[in-house]
Amino acid sequence: MLSAREVMLVSKIIPVISVDSVEESLRLCEALVLGGVNIFEITLRTACAIDAINAVAREFPNAVTGAGTVLNAEQFKMVENAGATFAISPGLTQELASYKNSIPLLPGVATASEIMQGLAYGYDAFKLFPANIVGGIGALKAFGAPFKDVVFCPTGGINAANAREYLALENVLCIGGSWIVPNDLIKEGNFKEITTITKEALAALKS
């Protein structure tokens, strides 16, 4: 089993995916792999999400398929059974923290108190969410002093314009974002353009 930090080191960008069909998810993940990203956060925001996780995990065995928007233990068990390699939640409850999970959880935090609560439960890797609303880069810099051993994947309001600034921070291992998987392109079936956007995003981070 990968650790949460190992999941965060798979790619500088974890695409936050919301799809309306299994076929859509497979075509989208193929486009991302062709663009150089082999990790997927398929969110539980649509009716087909569990089926999509199952299909993507089987179709792309060399990629890392995870579930996002996991809100409770029941959903956690569902995504484990579907073949997810990791889970991400927008927050952390006692129910989630005490669940005997077989895959790593990256819980969401927004404040110092929530980070301290997560540390008390044994977590030291978090999703900062919603990053742009709760202080973004300034908040992450401020958290760096009292929480030296904590790492983050900021998500929410991350885009091509600010991605490099986030990733320049020592306590940021990766970023989560939907800007490389625009809904309009998915609906149009323009997966070739998503591959192009993904390649350009990764190239910009390396330059």
Question: What is the sign of the dihedral through the CA atoms of 169, 180, 11 and 175?
Answer: positive
Cβ-in-10-Å burial (0-12, 13-18, 19+) of 174 comes to buried
Tokens of 71: 């809100």
Is residue 127 flagged as an active site residue?
yes
Q: Which one-letter amino acid corresponds to residue 103?
A: I
> Tokens 């991605």 appear where?
163
Contact of 157 with 139, CB cutoff 8 Å: no
Q: Residues near 81 by Cβ (< 8 Å), separated by ≥ 6?
A: none
Contact of 32 with 40, CB cutoff 8 Å: yes
Is residue 114 flagged as an active site residue?
no
Cβ-in-10-Å burial (0-12, 13-18, 19+) of 138 comes to exposed
Catalytic option among 12, 24, 41, 80:
41
Catalytic option among 12, 24, 80, 127:
127
How far apart (Å, rounded) are the C-alpha atoms in residues 35 and 149?
Answer: 32
Catalytic positions: 41, 127
